[in-house]
Amino acid sequence: MLGAGAIGAYVGAALDRGGADVVLIARGEHLRAMAKRGVRVESPRGDFEAHPEATDDVGAIAEADVVVLGLKSYGLPAMAPRIGELLRPGAAVVFAQNGIPWWYFQRVDGPFAGRTLESVDPDAVITRSIAPEHVVGCVVYCATEITAPGVIRHLEGTRFTIGTPGGERTDACTAISRAFVAGGLKCPVEDDLRPQIWLKLVGNAAFNPLTTVTRSTLGGLGTSPAATAFARTVMEESAAVAAALGIELPVSLDRRLEAGLAVGDHRTSMLQDWEAGKPLETDCMTGAVVEIADMVGVPVPNTRALHELTHAVEELRDA
């Protein structure tokens, strides 16, 4: 598990509980706590502890059959060359990042086949570093927080939907799914992961920046008719971009909006990062929507404005 933060440590602990041989790769106080005391998960589904190996040595992935990447999307370009060098033949890499994945236009037909996106893969460094046969996409529906070093608060969600860029149901996908299920998680394998990517993104592209700009939890957004209406407008724009790519969302926007707000007293990952002084994952969310919108000729004025405003909030914080 490369990038064993809130999601990564939770998944790693679950996989360890299910019998998988797990190595958590992290850093700082969080790493030291996990190495000394293991991972403690506090969850409405039941608290538990796990004691997988923990290290700061990225080289540990060289022996792995499966590498689950919990890195933030903006951290992947710098790490990709090293990851590509270390991967053993046949190893699978599960990309559990937010937003539009860097591999989105791999192994698809149409005018954008093989296209790379500057917003998520600047100068195509990830594409050049990691061969397509290693790639397993992953859409994460799970809300977690680090409440103390080595302690993960799991709020809701256990689904990690996976699939390959070309839709092949590989032996690796089957094995990964079984390991996740053994750890108490849900891990369906999709023939086409892209509708699931957009279903999550239409919510994240609205909720994450908007909660950050307003300093609100998801439940807090729901108390404001203006914030709720604006979130839906951004969701509609993202859905229009998806439709231009031939994607039909498997769930209505009303249901997606309702489900997001129903999470309640939860700070989105972007708001958590803003409060911690960390970089924000704007480019893979609103940035990617805007970039693809320009490619397909769909106007997204509200998403574009929210993207710029979120960048401004980050710049003002850092100043």
Q: Are residues 175 and 204 in the same domain?
A: no
User: Is residue 1 in some structural domain?
Assistant: no
Q: Are residues 165 and 281 in the same domain?
A: no
Verdict on whether the full-model pTM lies above 0.85: yes
Q: Are residues 254 and 186 in the same domain?
A: no
Helix (H), strand (E), coil (C) string for the chain:
CECCCHHHHHHHHHHHHCCCCCEEECCHHHHHHHHHHCEEEECCCCCEEECCEEECCHHHHHHCCEEEECCCHHHHHHHHHHHHHHCCCCCEEEECCCCCCCCCCCCCCCCCCCCCCCCCCHHHHHHHHCCHHHEEEEEEEEEEEEEECCEEEEEEEEEEEEECCCCCCCHHHHHHHHHHHHCCCECCECCCCHHHHHHHHHHHHHHHHHHHHHCCCHHHHCCCHHHHHHHHHHHHHHHHHHHHCCCCCCCCHHHHHHHHHCCCCCCCHHHHHHHCCCCCCCHHHHHHHHHHHHHHCCCCHHHHHHHHHHHHHHHHHHC
User: Is residue 24 in some structural domain?
Assistant: yes
User: Is residue 260 in some structural domain?
Assistant: yes
Q: Are residues 144 and 212 in the same domain?
A: no
Q: Which residues are catalytic?
A: 200
- Spatial distance between the Cα atoms of 220 and 129, rounded to a whole number of angstroms: 41
- Spatial distance between the Cα atoms of 254 and 231, rounded to a whole number of angstroms: 11
| pLDDT for res 100 | 97
- Spatial distance between the Cα atoms of 29 and 35, rounded to a whole number of angstroms: 10
Range of the structural domain that residue 188 is part of: 6-192
**Residue 159, beta-bridge partner list:** 141, 186
The predicted model gives 210-227 an average pLDDT of 95
The predicted model gives 3-30 an average pLDDT of 97
User: Is residue 290 in some structural domain?
Assistant: yes
Q: Are residues 15 and 138 in the same domain?
A: yes
**CATH code assigned at 207:** 1.10.1040.10
Query: What is the domain count for the chain?
Result: 2
Domain boundary, last residue among 192, 207, 242: 192
Q: Are residues 27 and 154 in the same domain?
A: yes
> 23-27, 69-73, 289-293: which has the minimum mean pLDDT?
69-73
264 has pLDDT over 90: no
104 has pLDDT over 90: yes
**CATH code assigned at 29:** 3.40.50.720
Q: Are residues 226 and 271 in the same domain?
A: yes
Q: Are residues 150 and 231 in the same domain?
A: no
Q: Are residues 162 and 281 in the same domain?
A: no
302 has pLDDT over 90: yes
Domain boundary, last residue among 174, 192, 210: 192
Residue corresponding to tokens 């933030």: 72
Q: Are residues 178 and 283 in the same domain?
A: no
The predicted model gives 290-296 an average pLDDT of 98
Contact 139, 160 (CB under 8 A): yes
User: Is residue 163 in some structural domain?
Assistant: yes
Q: Are residues 178 and 250 in the same domain?
A: no
User: Is residue 155 in some structural domain?
Assistant: yes
User: Is residue 270 in some structural domain?
Assistant: yes
Q: Are residues 92 and 171 in the same domain?
A: yes
The predicted model gives 171-180 an average pLDDT of 97
265 has pLDDT over 90: no
Domain boundary, last residue among 165, 192, 219: 192
| pLDDT for res 105 | 97
